[in-house]
Amino acid sequence: MLVVAAHPDGPEAITRVGFVAGKRVGNAVIRNKARRRVREAVRARYEQLPSGRDLVLILRSSAGAASFETLDQTVVQLLKRAGLLEIRTPECAASPSG
């Protein structure tokens, strides 16, 4: 459904993400819809991506018919498997009262 290609861009550079959907995904409406869904799934986890990387997510033909939930889960699994998703625990904002 998805393929990721990653390239290190340097230690202080920002992370850039590109999305590619070929004609096999479907017509222009379906390709753009699938691209928007995958873009949103990545946007929600952008802070967890390592800095200084160039990522390209390539949508395969089955991505055109997939729901957002399916694409979202696939993005998470793919980024974890590639070692590109850093799981960060939220720091407690509450200060001790006393």
**Domain-wise residue ranges, the chain:** 7-81
Q: In this predicted model, what pLDDT tens digit does every residue of 45-66 receive, in sequence order?
A: 999 998 888 999 999 999 999 9
Spatial separation of the C-alpha atoms in residues 20 and 9, rounded to whole Å: 19
Q: In this predicted model, what pLDDT tens digit does every residue of 7-60 receive, in sequence order?
A: 887 667 788 999 999 999 999 999 999 999 999 999 999 999 988 889 999 999
Spatial separation of the C-alpha atoms in residues 71 and 50, rounded to whole Å: 21
Q: Where are the extended beta strands (E) located within 1-98?
A: 2-8, 16-21, 53-59
For 7-81, CATH number? Answer: 3.30.230.10
Looking at residue 98, what is its pLDDT? Answer: 46
Q: Of 3-7, 44-48, 85-89, which gets the smallest average pLDDT?
A: 85-89
Spatial separation of the C-alpha atoms in residues 16 and 51, rounded to whole Å: 9
Spatial separation of the C-alpha atoms in residues 43 and 48, rounded to whole Å: 10
Spatial separation of the C-alpha atoms in residues 24 and 64, rounded to whole Å: 9
Whether the Cβ atoms of residue 88 and residue 40 lie closer than 8 Å to each other: no
Looking at residue 51, what is its pLDDT? Answer: 86
